[in-house]
Structure 1
Amino acid sequence: MTRTALTLLTCLWLAVPLHASEFTLTLDDGTDLPVSRYQGDGQRLLVWLPSNHGVLPGHHQQAEYLQAQGVEVWLPDPYAAYFLPNTPSSLDRIPEDLVGRLIDHAREETGKQVYVFGNDRAAPWVLTSLRAWQMEEPRREGLGGVILMSPYLHTGIPEDDRPPEFQPVTRATNLPVYLIQPVLSPQYPLLMPVVDQLGEGGSHVYVRTLPRLRDRFFFRPNTLDAEEAFKPELATELVTAMRMLDGLESRRVAVDIEGAARTATPTRQDRRLEPWRGNPEAPPLELPDLAGTLHDLAGYRGDVVLINFWASWCPPCVHEMPSMQRLEDALGDGPFRILAVNLGEDEDTVVEFLERIQVDFTILMDPDNSALRHWNVLAYPTSFVIDRAGEIRYALFGAIEWMEPEVIKVFEDLMAE
């Protein structure tokens, strides 16, 4: 063995957590799929499928927590198997039969009841793969159900006032589903529509919401205190999910569907102010500021108004706020105002945040998220530009640098009308 080969094998061995073993599963196309296996002494086995972020240390940490509770975990890395980058579009290049092969091999190898976990943008691929597995051999045994966390099941954020559309597989899924949804998430407002869509196909859906937590909290950097404290508790939630799913019949014939089960995975695009293509009439907006003074959008006729929906736990929101302040400073002598609507946080949280990120434009409080619903906000941050006649002229779904020349020109042109 050459020194280079020995060094490579040593590095690969060191990359495997001490509580895991490694094996490769040869797929139908001849690809070798690397799998980290955390053997458990119980009768449940969780196949944990990574999202578009790939396999990260947080996945291995959760596998160890589950292993300590007797659950065996198989953590495959399809991105490494197919030499793919950790991006949403890579999910469209991973064969859907991969999940079925993992389920079958896990059953043959261990005889344990198998459950499948998927989160974020991987959810449509996971559900489509499970449906394909159902169709191969209807009413086969061995799959206890699927656990989804913050499933990204819509086809993208509409750039007008239409409701979101969902991936066809959402309403063509009839397996038992346990849906875990952090509350501090852009997916939270879509929770009940997703449950309704899954119910159309015949799924029995359990729902568990997690207050004070964001998406991907178990592996993301810069976690909130509540997220760090909850990391060891997630395994208990997953064990509870598997126990709940045990009471449901999972041997089901796949639901018929016309056309493709899913469309291409939505990807993040360049963010920019775009002309509004929906109804120009602005929904009502009447909310108090931190001092309790009520602000009514109708009272701002004659001004160009930037309405920004934000939250302190949303990194892009935080990132763009200083440039919003610079924008107001630059345009403040003209008919221009910013109304920044906080999304459901309490006053103490907002005040503490503003002590760190100092801005002096108007902050409005929306404790029951009523404005979020009226304005159909599905992404954080979301911004609308209202002209001097009170109509919506531009919208933005995401964060930008507000002092870019083309952005400033939009406001200057509107103020001149």
Structure 2
Amino acid sequence: MRLFSVLVLSLWACSFTVRADMPDYRVFPAEGSRLLLWVASERGRAELEVEAAQRLAERGMAVWSLDPVNAYFLPQLPSGMDAVPAQDMADWLRAAQGSGKRVAVYAVSRAAVPVLRAAALLQPGERKRLCVLLMSPNLYTVAEPLAAPDYLDVGDLSGLRVRVLQPRRSAATPWLPGQLDHLAGHGALVDQVILENLREGYWMRETPTEFEIAEGRRLDAMLQRELNDWACI
């Protein structure tokens, strides 16, 4: 049985409670009508991300938090994230939609790749009911300084709503227009938000600025704001 099938079955069996014995997959239950699927980057799940998920759940938004590379015993590299089976991810998205809640996905960095490839496997009606927030998405096959990057094929995204959250001080910010064009070319309905005075992965940097420290502690507020402003879930 595929790993994601095990995860999904375990999720339903434990009635939406946190599985302390499954650190790569955690569920933060809430009674509200909204569900956020939080997919960690190839670097794994940071403690501030766990704290933010807990606070969102306390305010009524359930969170299913997945650390894909560790769940699949893959290297913590972009190539590791590329190896996450898209069909397993698609099964997970369908299970979320079957919960009866309104569903959005938040994917960080290279996690955008398996999430988008999974969305491409959904039926058009399923895809249109889904919103995807991408934080600093890495969709590049090759990215060299001063050169336009090449992008991965992520499949048919027709009808999928995608909002890109881009820290202003990231080295990839000049490539944002091309990345948005790439997503739109695959059929996605794209939007963007620039996060001022922040660098990529600001909540888990080794030497963050004071502003980044403060914003890292407000990850939950940022996500709730973006979802509300976007009228997504």
TM-score band, normalised by shorter chain: 0.7 to 0.9
Cα 1:246–1:127 shift into 2, 3 Å? same
Whether 2:153 is the aligned partner of 1:139: answer: no
Q: CA deviation at 1:219?
A: 2.5
Match of 1:216 among 201, 204, 220: 201
More helix, by proportion: 2
Alpha-carbon distance in structure 1 between the residues aligned to 2:58 and 2:208 = 23
Q: CA deviation at 1:142?
A: 8.2
What amino acid sits opposite 2:107 in the alignment?
Answer: G
Q: Normalized against structure 2, the TM-score is what?
A: 0.80
Whether 2:157 is the aligned partner of 1:173: answer: yes
Q: CA deviation at 1:241?
A: 2.7
- In our comparison, the structure showing a higher alpha carbon Rg is 1
SS of aligned partner of 1:151:
coil
1:263-282 matches, cutoff 5 A: none
Alpha-carbon distance in structure 2 between the residues aligned to 1:200 and 1:214 = 27
Aligned position for 1:148: 134
1:14-413 matches, cutoff 5 A: 21-22=18-19, 34-108=24-98, 110-132=99-121, 134=122, 137-140=123-126, 143-158=129-144, 162-169=147-154, 172-174=156-158, 175-246=160-231
Alpha-carbon distance in structure 2 between the residues aligned to 1:107 and 1:157 = 35
User: What's the CA shift string for 1:175-195, capped at 9, x where partnerless?
Assistant: 101111101101111111212
SS of aligned partner of 1:21:
coil
- Mark the runs of 5 or more structure 2 residues left unpaired by the alignment: 1-16
Cα 1:69–1:142 shift into 2, 3 Å? farther
> Percent identical across equivalent pairs?
29
Q: CA deviation at 1:242?
A: 2.3
Contact (CA 8 Å) 1:53, 1:87: kept in 2 or not?
Answer: yes
Contact (CA 8 Å) 1:144, 1:245: kept in 2 or not?
Answer: no
Q: Which has the higher contact order (CA 8 A, sep 6+)?
A: 2
Contact (CA 8 Å) 2:163, 2:191: kept in 1 or not?
Answer: yes
Q: Normalized against structure 1, the TM-score is what?
A: 0.47
What amino acid sits opposite 1:47 in the alignment?
Answer: L
What amino acid sits opposite 1:90 in the alignment?
Answer: G
Alpha-carbon distance in structure 2 between the residues aligned to 1:168 and 1:22 = 34
Q: CA deviation at 1:33?
A: 9.3
Alpha-carbon distance in structure 1 between the residues aligned to 2:73 and 2:109 = 21
Contact (CA 8 Å) 1:144, 1:242: kept in 2 or not?
Answer: no
Contact (CA 8 Å) 1:217, 1:227: kept in 2 or not?
Answer: yes
What amino acid sits opposite 1:106 in the alignment?
Answer: A
- Mark the runs of 5 or more structure 1 residues left unpaired by the alignment: 1-19, 25-31, 249-417
User: What's the CA shift string for 1:213-264, capped at 9, x where partnerless?
Assistant: 111112233221111111233322222332344469xxxxxxxxxxxxxxxx
User: What's the CA shift string for 1:103-136, capped at 9, x where partnerless?
Assistant: 222233x31111111121222222112112x2xx
Cα 1:112–1:23 shift into 2, 3 Å? farther
Contact (CA 8 Å) 1:151, 1:187: kept in 2 or not?
Answer: no
Cα 1:50–1:95 shift into 2, 3 Å? same
Contact (CA 8 Å) 1:177, 1:245: kept in 2 or not?
Answer: no
**Root-mean-square deviation (Å):** 2.7
